[in-house]
Amino acid sequence: MKQDIFQAIADPTRRAILALIAMQALTPNVLADKFDMSRQAVSKHIKVLQECELVIPEQSGREIYYHLNPTKMQELDNWLAQFRTLWETRFSQLDNVLLTLNQQKQ
């Protein structure tokens, strides 16, 4: 069953894994060294991220390196963009109200 991308990134450990993998491709063993958890626990987090297509595995000899999937991250950003525009509009409106109130005080 495919995981929900928002449930996947809701977990702080998975967000931390994404941040690390964004810098460079890493193996599960290297990732496990960066957390206070077992390799198996890290592998479960990676599995969720992989099911959501946020990370892409690449076999290199006996190791599997996980890369960030920028295309999937772009999809997330595109979805959030609609809200970003709304927030920016509302903040601009709030700035105008505050400016008007400040001018009225003077």
Do 52 and 4 touch, CB atoms closer than 8 A?
yes
Q: What is the CATH number of the domain that holds 38?
A: 1.10.10.10
Verify that 93 and 42 share a domain, yes or no: no
pLDDT over 80 (residue 1): no
Verify that 52 and 10 share a domain, yes or no: yes
Query: SS3 of 48, please?
Result: helix
Do 17 and 49 touch, CB atoms closer than 8 A?
yes
Q: Could you read off the pLDDT of 56-101 as tens digits, one per residue?
A: 999 999 999 999 999 998 888 888 898 998 899 999 999 999 998 8
Write the CB contacts of 21 (distance below 8 Å, at least 6 apart in sequence). 31, 55, 66, 67, 68
Give the number of other CB atoms < 10 A from CB of residue 52.
20
pLDDT over 90 (residue 3): no
**Residue 14 lies in domain:** 1-68
Verify that 54 and 96 share a domain, yes or no: no
d(CA 69, CA 71): 5
Verify that 14 and 63 share a domain, yes or no: yes
pTM listed for this prediction: 0.77
Verify that 44 and 18 share a domain, yes or no: yes
